[in-house]
Structure 1
Amino acid sequence: MDREELPTIFNLASSDPRSELIDRSKLSEETLKQIDRIMAEMGRLRAVERKISRASQSYMNLNETDMRAIRFLISAKNTDTAATPGMLAKHLGITTASVTKMVDRLEKAGHVVRAAHPTDRRSLCITVTPETHLAARQQVGRHHAARFGAAARLSPAEREVVIRFLAETAMDLEDSIGSVGERKPSQG
């Protein structure tokens, strides 16, 4: 299988040539090269995930929100959780009216079914059909299994480093959302 070349748009020389965003004056060339490689690999990972997402959406004839809904419903089924339209709306960050339209469309296409909630007679429960569950497992599940393999090959200490890196990256990115326009250059 051909591997995509590492994206170069994420390297510091092309994205921040004058150190306006990131102060790298105290970092060695070797450190900068390693960070560039990390950023490039993260870019490749995002590109592969987008490719997988598009292929899965095409295979199942669903859009991105529909796929997120199906994954949520599969997770709910796997954990014996009765998924309601309200839970789905909250998970997807959309209105209950939008969920109703989406569920109507997914039900018509044979992806989900509505049923009475097992404990709350006033509520409905949405479940994924066995056929869609199987299709999602075959299409998306194998990609998740590949991620597991990469993590399993790491030592416990390496996994802790990766966990810390991903958690800190997510926190830093979340912090940057709230401070757009207010952000000061990083002190590396």
Structure 2
Amino acid sequence: MHDPRIGDSTGELVDRRGLSDADVEQVVEVMNALRNWHEAAERMSESSRRYMRLNETDMRALRYLIAAHHQKRLVTPGALTDYLGISTASTTKLLDRLEKGGHVRRGPHPSDRRALTVAVTDATRKDARESVGRQHARRFTVAAELTPADRAVVIGFLDALTATEVAEDGEDGATGDR
């Protein structure tokens, strides 16, 4: 329902009082632009997953491992389990799959003989940098070209939009647990 004049012609859901036709039209354009951005981001994400032959959880794991690499942090399977919010059995299957695909390697922990570490391979880190990394760099450039005042408006708008989320239990997304 991007255009309340069509999807909510009676004004039951969307209060348009005080808005001119031009204002409503511009709000609809904002909502359409957001939809277009969301669809573009989804296409990029799907393209990256297809290129790397991975699912969303696999990609989240790799992003986490790449960030840890850049921060020079060791990652254990337990830390990955906690980050992803999945079971240890699922983490083991995920790591088996990623290791078989040449995306990660497991090794001994340098200070705890009972523990393992998990690291992203150089080849996967390079692939991610050349695909997803370049996309993010272009997006950063677009945001950097805004004035500080315009960035503040965009941040405020997106934060307010995020706060409209209602969790399934009816709690406000801004205060509910995620």
Deviation at 1:179, TM superposition (A): 5.7
Question: Structure 1: where are the runs of 5+ without partners?
Answer: 1-8, 183-188
Please tell me whether residue 36 in structure 1 is matched to residue 24 in structure 2: no
After superposition, residues 48-63 of structure 1 pair within 5 angstroms as 48-63=40-55
Structure 2 partner of 1:177: 167
Give the direction of change, closer, same or farther, for the CA distance of 1:31–1:87 in structure 2 (3 Å limit).
Answer: farther
How far apart are the structure 2 equivalents of 1:170 and 1:36? 18
One-letter identity of the residue aligned with 1:126: V
Give the C-alpha shift of residue 71 in structure 1: 0.9
Preserved contact between residue 68 and residue 92 of structure 1 (Cα < 8 Å): yes
One of 78, 87, 109 as aligned partner of 1:86: 78
Aligned residues: 172
The runs of 5 or more residues in structure 2 that have no matched partner are: 173-178
Partner Cα separation in structure 1 for residue 8 and residue 171 of structure 2: 16
Question: Compared with structure 1, are the counterparts of its residues 74 and 168 closer, same or farther at alpha carbon in structure 2 (3 Å cutoff)?
Answer: same
Query: Residue 125 and residue 15 in structure 1: after superposition, are their counterparts in 2 closer, same or farther (change >3 A)?
Result: farther
* Alignment partners' CA distance in 2, 1:45 and 1:54: 14
Classify the secondary structure of the residue corresponding to 1:177: coil
Aligned position for 1:121: 113
Residues 10 and 39, structure 1, Cα contact 8 Å, conserved in 2? yes
Pairwise CA distance, 1:157: 0.6
User: Secondary structure in 2 aligned to 1:10?
Assistant: coil
2-side partners of 1:93 and 1:77: how far apart? 20
RMSD between aligned residues: 2.0
**Which structure's relative contact order is higher, taking Cα pairs within 8 Å and 6+ residues apart?**
1
Contact in 2 for aligned 1:115/1:125 (Cα 8 Å): yes
Query: C-alpha separation between the residues in 2 aligned to 1:22 and 1:29?
Result: 14
- Aligned partner letter, 2:131: Q
Question: In 2 relative to 1, CA 156–73 (structure 1 residues): closer, same or farther, beyond 3 Å?
Answer: same
Alignment-derived partner of residue 136 in structure 1: 128
Partner secondary structure for residue 172 of structure 1 = coil
TM score, norm. by length of structure 1: 0.83
Tell me the TM-score normalised to structure 2 length.
0.88
